[in-house]
Amino acid sequence: MSVTFKFDNSYARLPEEFFHKVAPTGLSNPHLVSWNASAAQLLDLELDEQSAPSLLALLSGNELPAGSDPLAAVYAGHQFGQLVPRLGDGRAILLGEVVNRKGERWDLQLKGAGQTRYSRFGDGRAVLRSTIREYLCSEAMHGLGIATTRALCIIGSDEPVARERMETGAMLARLAPSHVRFGSFEYFYYARQHDMLPVLADHVIDRHFKEFARQPDRYAQMFDQVVETTARMLAQWQAVGFAHGVMNSDNMSILGLTIDYGPYGFVEEFDPGYICNHTDEAGRYAFARQPGVGLFNLNCLANALLPLVDAETLKAALMRYEARFTGHFYELMGDKLGVPVNDDEGRAFTDRLLELLYKNRVDYSGFFRELAEVAIADKTPVIDNLFTDQAGFYHWLRDYQNRCEATGVTDAERKAAMNRVNPRYILRNYLAQTAIEKAEQGDFSEVDRLLELLAAPYTERPGFEEYTQPAPEWGKHLEISCSS
Ligand code: AMP
Ligand code: MG
């Protein structure tokens, strides 16, 4: 039985300057590596014996679904601070926009689908390792309540693909309300096709910002929205300890979705200087620099919007970024701590904690789950063993307990509230690495197990204690680079 979709391809109806219409290059001998039933619901898909062969053919690029209109989108970007005036989808192909039963519209994109006009020197492929990394992390972010692209499935193959070593080609089916990037606007600005900027902006507004679609200042409002969603996304990344690794402006979604998972990492032993991307020698995208890079990228976008919005309005929106980021960040930190900290004193108190976690090399995610167990009246809690600076820790803890006491929250209430926002399970690099190594041997069970665990990261699961553990020695210094 062949699987059908209801497509309505609004992006493909834009002027031809926006894309290269190209069909996927199918993978040879495809097989299903992992299927994400929760993402599949977004397309009303079910994997069963009848649908499996058709899904495999469609999602490995070997057959085109009826009604699709495949294309590679063009965009530009600032990569590590340098303008690249034309990038574009070099290995991702948008099959089209699927409208589900609820009337929601989802871009269905195949990543690793072969060469396009924008492949430059690349082979258009993705390897199994990198698709697993994106698959697991995008679902982990979704589980953490952070807006992100979704991952429907991974298809593996026997196709050799050369990276630092020989690997095999794979394809990720990716879903998103939109794949438009900051760099999509930059492309038309630097190509001096300024008449395309309102076409792109109106497309985005019609699709996603209906509430101000008819207003004369809609472009200014769109930019203000992007500032807000970007500030919020960055606050979430910082609060959860996520480092993206390649925050180029072509990897910044116009909807504030976390997109393009490459050499990302979650901070384990807390370190503001954490660099997850081995290739990023200067640490441009180090963990604590991310909020500032968010602003840099918004500046890139603002610049590209100059033909549409006056400079003063753009500047005023940019000026609001920092306060928005900071407000969201301390709101989230208050949630993590189980006590509000979004005032001057509370912010300083939170910063002191981060400093302590850094100096004592404390496991970031683990700390908040353990703090939830500490009673307000407990003057010598066992978590003191995480800190070599005992005086510093107890000084902070007394302030913490006083703050909790002042709010009147009970220990049980605070614990329950904290455990609803502090993940028990995060995607530690060594966990992803273990799943990848098994998958490369043909055993995909660990990918499925992690997917299930990370989709509900707050829920304690008996039998999964080892997944909460900090990295073993071999897993502490894994080198993850851009080559994927
Ligand atoms: P990324 O750093 O993965 O976001 O990719 C940056 C740019 O390089 C984008 O234009 C990608 O489409 C392109 N690219 C990355 N890997 C490949 C590849 N294997 N083949 C062709 N293009 C690629
Ligand atoms: Mg990218």
Cα dihedral 66→69→72→76 (10° resolution): -140
Residues in the chain, pLDDT under 70: none
pLDDT at 13: 98
- Closest-CA residue, ligand 1 atom 11, reads 90
The residue among 324, 331, 415 whose CA lies nearest residue 372 is 415
Ligand 1 within 6 A of CB of 88: yes
Q: d(Cα 173, Cα 451) in Å, to the nearest integer?
A: 15
Average pLDDT, the chain: 97
- Closest-CA residue, ligand 1 atom 23, reads 90
Ligand 1 within 6 A of CB of 470: no
Ligand 2 geometric centre to CA of 251 (Å): 5
Ligand 1 within 6 A of CB of 280: no
**Which DSSP helix (H) or strand (E) runs through 151?**
strand 150-162
pLDDT at 411: 98
pLDDT at 93: 98
Q: Which amino acid is at 403?
A: R
Residues 6+ apart with CB under 8 A from 48: none
Which ligand neighbours the alpha carbon of 263 most closely? 1
Ligand 1 geometric centre to CA of 292 (Å): 24
- Closest-CA residue, ligand 1 atom 13, reads 90
Q: Which amino acid is at 472?
A: P
CA angle 200, 229, 35 (to 5 degrees): 85
pLDDT at 479: 86
Ligand 1 within 6 A of CB of 91: yes
pLDDT at 481: 82
Rg of the chain, C-alpha, whole Å: 23
